[in-house]
Amino acid sequence: MTQKNLALVTGANGHLGNNVVRLLIDKGVRASVRTIKNKEPFAGLNCDVVQADITDKQSLINALQGVDVFYAVGAAFKLWAKDPKKEIYDVNLEGIKNTIEAAVEAGVRRIVYVSSIAATEFTKLPIKESNGYNTDRRDMYFNAKNDGEKLAFELAQKHNIELVAVLPSAMIGSEAFAPLNVSYSVINLILKKQIPVETGITLNWIDVKDVAEGCYLAATKGRNGERYILANETCMPIKDTTRIAQELYPELAIKLPMAVPKLILFAVAWFMEMGSKLTGKAPLLTTKDIAMFSGLQQDFDTKKARTELGFNPKNPAQAVKEAMLYLRKNSNRFS
């Protein structure tokens, strides 16, 4: 059955993808997932769920039949891997090539490509779209987002298909399913009293529902070939985020993370990385995290998204509060 203005969302069981599906449920949406077995994120939702993998172009072509707008959310979203080039960079770059080519073959009109604030130049504050791309090449996920967004625009122009990029910051809040994304996990670790030391890392918190709304606004109002930062203006240190938890849940007796010399932070991170090589699980902290992000400000100029799209997110403190309330209410899911 064909449906006018049908949208496809890839990565629809992920945090952002699932919230985009929920936003579009009455507008005509098809959800695609890499493995069809996980039904929990779609319980009670009246939408078609299909299988598609960004590394398999034919599966994307199949999923995109009859689709007008393609929300390209699906990606390898992880900051650590045993082989980061193969597991993060190569997967994402191949996925972008497949995504654009499949959309062209299926006759899609417009792509909303979900990039990241990782694809912005951090050396000039406030950070804005016109600053260009990140020049720090130490992190393979950041490299994938920078090179991937450039590739997406190049291929879209080559194949004459409309593409708008959105660049979200640290997404938290609302509906989520295990495993939590990296940003939401930080909030959960604070509530579980598992962040003992102050890292000097700040995060630009944004409610995932606001990002989902921003994706829809980009689809309906965004200018072809443009990129839009979906973030709040100011970032928040972990210490200030922890203070919100203290006020919300005094009974948990959450302590502020302890300030330690940077040399100690590097040592702690090094031991965590060594442990990860044995377990294969991502470390809570890496030496690269400290080197790249400790003391880094992530303040943004969001005028373009606010003016052109009508993007109006809730403030970071409110986003953090609501995320904490959700995690406490659903703590059995994320233990």
DSSP state of 206: E
What's the pLDDT band for 279 if we cut at 50, 70, 90?
confident
Structural domain count of the chain: 1
Give the start-end residues of each E strand in the chain. 7-9, 29-33, 48-51, 69-72, 110-114, 162-168, 170-172, 197-198, 202-203, 205-207, 227-230, 236-237, 258-259
Residue of higher predicted confidence among 20 and 46: 20
Residue 282 has pLDDT above 60, yes or no: yes
- Residue 296 has a CB neighbour count (10 Å cut-off) of 12
pLDDT digits (tens, 9 = 90+) for 209-255: 999 999 999 999 999 999 999 999 999 999 999 999 999 999 999 99
**Residue 242 forms part of a structural domain:** no
pTM: 0.94
Domain at 123, CATH number = 3.40.50.720
Supply φ then ψ for residue 172, to 5 degrees: -140, 170
Task: Assign 244 to helix, strand or coil.
Answer: helix
Q: Average pLDDT, stretch 68-72?
A: 98
**Residue 72 forms part of a structural domain:** yes
**Residue 224 forms part of a structural domain:** yes
Query: What pLDDT, on a 0 to 100 scale, did the predictor assign at position 319?
Result: 98
Determine the structural domain holding residue 31 and report its residue range. Answer: 7-177+204-233+299-315
**Residue 209 forms part of a structural domain:** yes
> If you write DSSP's letter for every residue of 152-168 in order, what string do you get?
HHHHHHHHT-EEEEEEE
Helix, strand, coil tally for the chain in percent (to 5): 45, 15, 40
pLDDT digits (tens, 9 = 90+) for 26-64: 999 999 999 888 888 999 998 999 999 999 999 999 999
**Residue 292 forms part of a structural domain:** no
Q: How far is CA 168 from the centre of its chain?
A: 6
**Residue 199 forms part of a structural domain:** no
**Residue 290 forms part of a structural domain:** no
**Residue 129 forms part of a structural domain:** yes
